[in-house]
Chain A
Amino acid sequence: MTLVLEQVLNGLQLGVMLFLLAAGLTLVFGVMGVINLAHGSLYMVGAYAAAIVAAKTGSAVLSVLAGLGAAAVIGMIVELGVLRRLYARDHLDQVLATFALILIFNETTTLLFGRKPLFVSVPKMLEGSVELMPGFTYPIYRLAVIGVGLLVAVGLYVLINRTRIGMLVRAGATHRQMVRALGVDIRMIFTLVFGLGALLAGLAGLMAGPILSVQVGMGEQILILTFVVVVIGGIGSVRGALLGALIVGLVDTLLRAFLPGLLRQVMQGPDADALAAGVSSMGVYLLMALVLLVRPRGLFPAHA
């Protein structure tokens, strides 16, 4: 029972990380109509910046600020320098250009910091575990990650649905001309939205540091999973991104945790483990195929 509970929490934690990435990706697509493969690179930037500052200064606060700042600033530079030229292009050009950005980010990072993974320790105040139930302890850090993720979800909801900025963002997605007519600089809004998406990706990256290893290629692994989240949730929908992220996080984690045991009852140990690893990796993609069979535009299509 506690094992199941632990895996559910792990699934939630993966879910909120995916949400932080998916929210940015889906906003950028919903508002600007751009598919950005390099979103995972901003996640990597956040992770590296935080890891390096933490190693240099030992300060958790500075490390967080560095991760957020680096991702947001580099994100906005990328928007101004490259993405902006792609808004009017077709998806093919967008895929190729942002694929090129991935190559540039990955190779530059390798050049600067090498191929060896960086290891990041958990900040002092979040060290240790807490006993949630008698006999069941769970790391405080992971709980904190879940908490931050949920807080961001609430914050985004308020920002998009309750503020003037959010109104402009929503209107910018559907009625570009009208927003322009209101005298609002839509290009500024695009840059800010992109920066916000990058900031969230950076947040996910810096929080991932102590859980996963920080290395080149970390962005692409999670990016593809994020695509699945966005497609399941419905492209352009932040609400869909949250639901999709939690579903994908839970399904992926639970399959990985429990499928080997189930398969081992019917076949040889090593074969069972290998097959289970394969099937659980494929699980979320199968889930996506099922969702699309029923709802080709995802669970919450943004512009129905």
Chain B
Amino acid sequence: MTDAVSLPAPAMRKGAAVGWLAVAVLLAVFPTIADALGQPALVPLVGRILIYGMAAATLNLVLGYGGLVSFGHAAYFGLGGYVAGVMALSARNGDLAFGLFPGTDQLLVALAVAAVMGAVLAAVIGSLSLRTSGVQFIMITLAFAQMVYFLFLSLKAYGGDDGLPMRRRLGIGALDMRDDRVLYFVALTGAVIVFLVIWRITVSRFGRVLSGLRQNEARMQAIGIAPRRYRLVAFILAGAGASMAGVLMANQLRFVSPDMLHWTKSGELMIMVILGGVGTLAGPFLGAAALVGLETVLGAFTERWQLLLGPILLAVVLYTHGGIAGLVTKLVKGRAP
């Protein structure tokens, strides 16, 4: 009987595992390659892609796997950015960050605080928003994110709409954070962890419930699953993760501003998920690479690069299914797309 049940592990077959390992190795040696090519500027660029990929991957957990179209993910991303900026500021000034707790110059401390704050914010927003569904849910998550945006816009102590520069980056022990390569490996480590954790979640019992709720809520209720608590937990996990990605982003740019909280940032994160492939593990990272890549390449020619992004995005939504990840899968399987 056992034989009939033993499955090829659905989420990661051997071939796929080898492929992922190859990608990880390639990313690990990337700074060396970039140096050899005489393009060291590519290192922080790919670092930025990895961080955006992390944020998009957490959005994908609720949006792709959970089917919840959250249009306010920038709230958590930006909150994390401000946690980094404000804690660094408070460490220098010796006052309390947000009037609540002492600052720090340690990245890992800021990440932990950001995770907690992101989780709390997501718990508050999620418990209210999840009372609704469909279009209401989209609009409400957007509106809550706007509240956070306006809140930080009005906090003159943290720079208001000018934003908050960080004089020095948050560090980890004795690592030299002024070195682009060190920053890159921090981002890569974060991205690998996020990737692995989300992969495990999606194949876990919890992940099955989350996916089942997206596929057919009536069926899930009929087997005794109360939808809201599972969705809320997914929401909280995603909020915590996006907030941590925000810390890394602010730390890399040494700057945080309300732009990180703006609703168009939520839109960009959604675009990354869609471009890459909704509900796929690699999709958000591919989408981040595509969007940042487009911005860099097209931006070199014209300031109006978004004029080209619009039609591209429209074409992807209207005419493709599965984004870049879908395309890759089709190519790997040797079928015409």
Contacts and interface: CB of A to CB of B under 8 A. Distances in A.
Contacts of B153: 277-278, 281
Contact of A103 (B71, B151, B155, B310): B310
Interface in A239-277: 270-271, 274-277
Contacts of A43: none
B161 to A, nearest CB: 10
Name the prevailing secondary structure of the B interface residues. Answer: helix
Contacts of B142: 224, 227
B263 A224 contact: yes
Nearest to B313: A100
A111 to B, nearest CB: 6
Interface in A6-53: 29, 35
A97 to B, nearest CB: 4
Contacts of B311: 100, 104
Given A104-B310, A231-B139, A281 B150 contact: yes
Nearest to A106: B306
Contacts of B155: 274, 278
B304 interface: yes
A220 B71 CA distance: 14
A104 B317 contact: no
Interface in B290-337: 304, 306-307, 309-311, 313-314, 317-318
B154 A274 contact: yes
B154 A277 contact: yes
Contacts of A218: none
Contact of A231 (B136, B306, B310): B136
Interface stretch (A88-96, A133-141, A179-187): A88-96
**Which bracket fits the contact residues of B?**
35 or more
A285 B135 contact: no
A222 B71 CA distance: 17
A106 B305 CA distance: 12
6 contacts: A91-B134, A92-B270, A96-B270, A106-B306, A275-B154, A281-B154
Nearest to A29: B135
A93 to B, nearest CB: 5
Given A107-B307, A278-B154, 17 more contacts: A35-B139, A82-B318, A97-B318, A99-B267, A100-B314, A103-B306, A104-B311, A108-B307, A228-B139, A274-B155, A274-B156, A276-B154, A278-B151, A281-B153, A281-B154, A285-B143, A298-B136
Interface in A114-171: none
In the complex, which of the residues B69, B131, B139, B271 has the most CB atoms of chain A within 10 Å of its own CB atom? Answer: B139
A289 B139 contact: no
B138 A292 contact: no
B26 to A, nearest CB: 30
| The 10 residue pairs across chains A and B that have the minimum distance between CB atoms | A278-B154, A107-B307, A104-B310, A103-B310, A281-B150, A100-B313, A100-B314, A227-B139, A285-B147, A274-B156
B285 interface: no
A292 B132 contact: yes
A228 B143 contact: yes
Contacts of B318: 82, 85, 97
B115 interface: no
Interface string B258-270: 0000011001001
Interface string B147-179: 100110111100010000000000000000000
**Which bracket fits the contact residues of A?**
35 or more
Name the prevailing secondary structure of the A interface residues. Answer: helix
Nearest to B268: A99
Given A92-B278, A224-B142, A286-B147, A274 B314 contact: no
Interface of A: 29, 35, 82, 85, 91-93, 95-97, 99-104, 106-108, 110-111, 220, 224, 227-228, 230-231, 235, 270-271, 274-279, 281-282, 285-286, 288-289, 292-293, 296-298
A297 B136 contact: yes
Contact of B154 (A103, A279, A288, A289): A279
Nearest to A296: B131
Nearest to B274: A96
B62 to A, nearest CB: 12
A108 B304 CA distance: 9
A257 B267 CA distance: 31
Contacts of B191: none
Contacts of B306: 103, 106-107
Interface in B58-89: 63, 69, 71
A288 B140 contact: yes
A99 B309 CA distance: 11
A152 B304 CA distance: 38
